[in-house]
Amino acid sequence: MKVYLNGRFVERSKAVLSVFDHGLLYGDGVFEGIRSYDGRIFKLAEHISRLYESAHTIMLKIPMSRAELADTVKQTVRTNKLRDAYIRLVVTRGEGDLGLDPRKCARPSVFVIADRIELYPKQLYAEGLTLVTVATQRNVPEALNPQIKSLNYLNNILAKLEAINAGFDEAILLSASGYVTEATGENLFIVRDRQLLTPPPYIGVLRGITRATVMGLAARQRLTVREELLTRHDLYNAEECFLTGTAAEIVPVVKIDGREIGAGKPGPVTKRLQQAFHRLTKTEGIRY
């Protein structure tokens, strides 16, 4: 495997950063997770834009243009001869001294990894997930806005640990006032009366690229799509529920906190959206 690192392609074992990199010392950096399907990178422009937005907010200047970065991503997948890939794009503050002042870091580090995707077991998509709401609350936007896709994912990891300790694969995080936000790396949707509902970004969820894609597909299937505050009660009494994310795609959810959702198996709306999503991934992406 060859990794792009600061202007060069290097072997995996040589793809190393300094222990003084503030990405490591402070989680000071931003990232994107992208996928390619059958030789096409899905939503590349959207991922690049979101990376630049995250970087802009933390005042991190990415040392290359958007076009150069997009080309680098394509080249990384090509170099590794992958047609179906999971791509990790990371920009860190770079090497500095001890002390969190970002001005001490001379230049950001940029790296791109393209690897095989580890698909979740097929069974999971066929049978659906069992989720649990956890005590760890989602970061409040006023403290650390979830729109910043930063290297600080401890909020999500703490929630994931809680779910694992309780014997579940995935967690649902609530806001400080108890509204539903999202899973640890996926957005959440429910179906009710031909309506597709998902929490609004201001409650503290990432505006997922898969989320936006699914909202578009749903509108084309003449479902009403709305961003709405959701409670746990709303989840328990939904007809269907699913999660969306670059890695997970669309995963049905069949049980939450011991309550069966709908018929307790993946529902028709979820299945139709999964089909439409898979068609789109095969036709829409940027060739490389």
Residues designated catalytic: 149
- Minimum distance of ligand PXG from residue 207's CB (angstroms): 8
Q: Which one of residues 110, 114, 174, 209 is an interface residue with ligand PXG (CB under 6 A)?
A: 209
- Minimum distance of ligand PXG from residue 107's CB (angstroms): 25
Q: Which one of residues 27, 33, 102, 141 is an interface residue with ligand PXG (CB under 6 A)?
A: 33
- Select 162 or 182, whichever has its Cβ closest to ligand PXG: 182
- Select 18 or 145, whichever has its Cβ closest to ligand PXG: 145
- Minimum distance of ligand PXG from residue 49's CB (angstroms): 11
Helix (H, G, I), strand (E, B) or coil at 110: strand
Residue 118's nearest CA partner among 284, 251, 269, 247 is 247
- Minimum distance of ligand PXG from residue 209's CB (angstroms): 3
Residue 151 interacts with ligand PXG (CB under 6 A)?
no
Q: Which residues contact 221 (CB under 8 A, 6 or more apart)?
A: 272, 273, 276
- Select 2 or 50, whichever has its Cβ closest to ligand PXG: 50
Q: Which one of residues 139, 210, 274, 281 is an interface residue with ligand PXG (CB under 6 A)?
A: 210
- Minimum distance of ligand PXG from residue 264's CB (angstroms): 25
- Minimum distance of ligand PXG from residue 42's CB (angstroms): 10
Q: Report the phi/psi class of residue 105: left, alpha or beta, with left for phi > 0 and alpha for psi in -120 to 50.
A: beta
What DSSP element (H or E) covers 79? helix 66-79
Identity of the residue numbered 248: A
User: Which residues ranging from 222 to 281 are in contact with ligand PXG (CB under 6 A)?
Assistant: 244-247
Is 144 exposed, middle or buried (CB count within 10 Å of its CB: 0-12, 13-18, 19+)? Answer: middle
Q: Which one of residues 60, 114, 151, 206 is an interface residue with ligand PXG (CB under 6 A)?
A: 206
Tokens of residue 150, six digits:
């930063």
Whole-number Å distance between alpha carbons of 39 and 87: 13
Task: Kindly determine how many residues on this chain lie close enough to bind ligand PXG according to the rule CB under 6 A.
Answer: 15
Q: Which one of residues 211, 235, 270, 273 is an interface residue with ligand PXG (CB under 6 A)?
A: 211
What DSSP element (H or E) covers 26? helix 22-26
What separation in angstroms does the CA of 96 have from each of 19, 22, 24, 26, 271? 10, 7, 11, 11, 49
Identity of the residue numbered 98: L
User: Which residues ranging from 52 to 91 are in contact with ligand PXG (CB under 6 A)?
Assistant: none
Residue 5, φ and ψ in degrees, nearest 5? -140, 110
Q: Which one of residues 54, 187, 198, 274 is an interface residue with ligand PXG (CB under 6 A)?
A: 187
- Select 95 or 150, whichever has its Cβ closest to ligand PXG: 150
Q: Which one of residues 96, 185, 266, 285 is an interface residue with ligand PXG (CB under 6 A)?
A: 185
Contact indicator for 109, 6 with CB cutoff of 8 Å: yes
What separation in angstroms does the CA of 111 have from each of 6, 108, 147, 151? 6, 10, 21, 13
Could you list the residues that contact ligand PXG (CB under 6 A)? 33, 156, 182, 185-187, 206, 208-211, 244-247
